[in-house]
Amino acid sequence: MNLKFAIGFDIHKLVSGRKLKLCGVEIPFEKGLLGHSDGDVGLHALIDAMLSASGLPDIGTLFPDKDPQYKNIESIKLLKKTLELVEKQGFKVSQVDLTFICDEPKLSPFYEKMKKLLSENLKLAPSEIGIKARTTEGLIKDLKEEAIACLCLVVLNKHES
């Protein structure tokens, strides 16, 4: 068994007039994440970790924000394309661990929905997916701009032929 590990990170500013999507799940909130795509920091961190662990270029190289085909794209579509690329490299996702960093909204009511969506799309047992959130105890609110960040650890298993 040949395991590969990588960490992904993403952060986007919260703004009015956008829907908030995290790990492909729409979260009811008065603000959403600003981005060229839907701004889903959970999926962006996961995608970057998967690409890094498999030796592929990063998300900005493969899905550039200057390319109009990615304008407002749902990040779940980028995840599906990434999984195809990772599988072509001979890897299977073995484990995912996501940590969201935000003061609001409260994300724990949505963990199971996020896990289910990731499990289905990654062909991975829900027990191999960790999702949690940590607050900054108000530090983000004290900044000029509010944001949500996400760290992701991914483990890939290389299938030997």
pLDDT, tens only, 89-138: 999 999 999 999 998 999 999 999 999 999 999 999 999 999 999 988 77
pLDDT of 142: 64
Coil/strand/helix, residue 126: helix
Domains and CATH numbers, the chain: 2-158 (3.30.1330.50)
DSSP character for 40?
Answer: -
Residues 59-75, mean pLDDT to the nearest whole number: 90
Mean pLDDT of the chain: 93
Coil/strand/helix, residue 31: strand
pTM here is 0.94
Say if residues 121 and 86 touch (Cβ distance below 8 Å): no
pLDDT of 20: 97
CA distance linking residue 51 with residue 33, whole number of Å: 22
CA distance linking residue 66 with residue 58, whole number of Å: 15
Say if residues 44 and 150 touch (Cβ distance below 8 Å): yes
